[in-house]
Amino acid sequence: MIRIYATIFAAIAGLAFGSFLNVCLTRWPLGESILKPRSHCRACGRTLAWWENIPVVSWIALRGRCRTCGAWIGWRYPLVELAVGLMWPIAVWKSNPTLWLFPSERVAFGIWIIGKLVFLWMAIALAVLDSEQLWLPDRITIPGAAVGFIFNFLYVAAHSPTVLAYYGALAVRSRLLWRFAWHRIAGILLAALLILLIRWTYKLIRKREGIGLGDAKLMAMLAAWLGLPGALLSFFIGVTLGALTALALLALPKPRTKKAGLPEEHPSESPAGAQSWALRKLPLGTFLCIGGIVSALWGQSILAAYLHWAGF
């Protein structure tokens, strides 16, 4: 029962935090404050009524347009709200919230689940920023890596007493923590190094930039949260998705902008459409983030299924 209540609560909170994320995603690239002016229409500047700010519902009721000026609000708003509003309850449902009933597990469980929610929120934020702006801000990836390391370290520290109460030795516990710390830091460095090696190889062969440094910092962040196996799984999923998307875009017919008969050299101003995607660089960071989300939620089962299949 507690599992159902916790999941419903996570869904509602997820929609609200998704709505807040939309504000951040619109204002961060413009360097605006995310707190100061209340939510307003980006076209006519009218401050929105409370009922125009309800996640997903308002967008559907208004059919995606501003009530006064009719400006198109965009697909991103309901999609981001739905993304957080789905990923959060899935994470809570899978985390076995009944652990909360055991006082000895409470602290470790709290750290575990809050960490998962923070990670999912940041991964969705970076996925959208890279797809819309080709931008993976250092202000998110670097603190994100540090926070990921701290959350996991605290989880191991809070979790180990129950496991090690059996052994009772403090020395064992500190050795376990020390081992975790240096393993995780090595994983973070190796994950970033993987991207740097690809970057250098690409530069050497093609004589131009292929993968940005932002992707290396993103991989470091994924390794901080998910460990090296989780980061490698994210990388594998991300690269596969990216390759499939590139193939799909190549297979698409030429953009419709040509039909006027004019030689159209500039991509249309409307962002994030499939057409402008085809003309721009593919956002690897977006695919890595999607890989990271899949890996955070289903990584254990995927790796277990693979090992079973491979006969280990």
Give whichever of 76 and 94 is closer to Zn ion, judged by the CB atom. 76
4, 34, 69, 165: which one binds Zn ion (CB under 5 A):
69
Amino acid in position 47: T
* Tokens at 121, concatenated: 């929120």
Smallest separation (angstroms) from Zn ion to the CB of 19: 18
11, 15, 25, 66: which one binds Zn ion (CB under 5 A):
66
Which letter, b or e, does each residue of 23-43 get, where b requires 16 or more Cβ atoms within 10 Å of its Cβ?
bbbbbbeeeeeeeeeeeebee
Give whichever of 8 and 44 is closer to Zn ion, judged by the CB atom. 44
Question: Per CB under 5 A, which region of 31-39, 43-51, 156-164, 271-279 contacts Zn ion?
Answer: 43-51
Smallest separation (angstroms) from Zn ion to the CB of 57: 19
Give whichever of 50 and 309 is closer to Zn ion, judged by the CB atom. 50
43, 190, 278, 302: which one binds Zn ion (CB under 5 A):
43
Amino acid in position 155: Y
Smallest separation (angstroms) from Zn ion to the CB of 41: 3
113 in contact with Zn ion (CB under 5 A): no
Spatial contact of 4 and 93, defined as CB atoms under 8 Å apart: no
Give whichever of 265 and 269 is closer to Zn ion, judged by the CB atom. 269
4, 12, 34, 44: which one binds Zn ion (CB under 5 A):
44
Spatial contact of 124 and 297, defined as CB atoms under 8 Å apart: no
Distances (CA, A) of 37 to 1, 27, 34, 76: 41, 11, 8, 21
Smallest separation (angstroms) from Zn ion to the CB of 56: 19
Distances (CA, A) of 203 to 146, 208, 235: 29, 5, 20
What is the DSSP annotation of 41-90?
-TTT-PBPPGGG-STTHHHHHTTTB-TTT--B--THHHHHHHHHHHHHHH
145 in contact with Zn ion (CB under 5 A): no
x/- string (CB under 5 A) for Zn ion, residues 244-273? Answer: ------------------------------
Smallest separation (angstroms) from Zn ion to the CB of 65: 8
Smallest separation (angstroms) from Zn ion to the CB of 40: 8
Spatial contact of 85 and 15, defined as CB atoms under 8 Å apart: yes
41 in contact with Zn ion (CB under 5 A): yes
Place of tokens 């960071």: 285
Please report, as ranges, the residues that interact with Zn ion according to CB under 5 A. Answer: 41, 43-44, 66, 69, 71
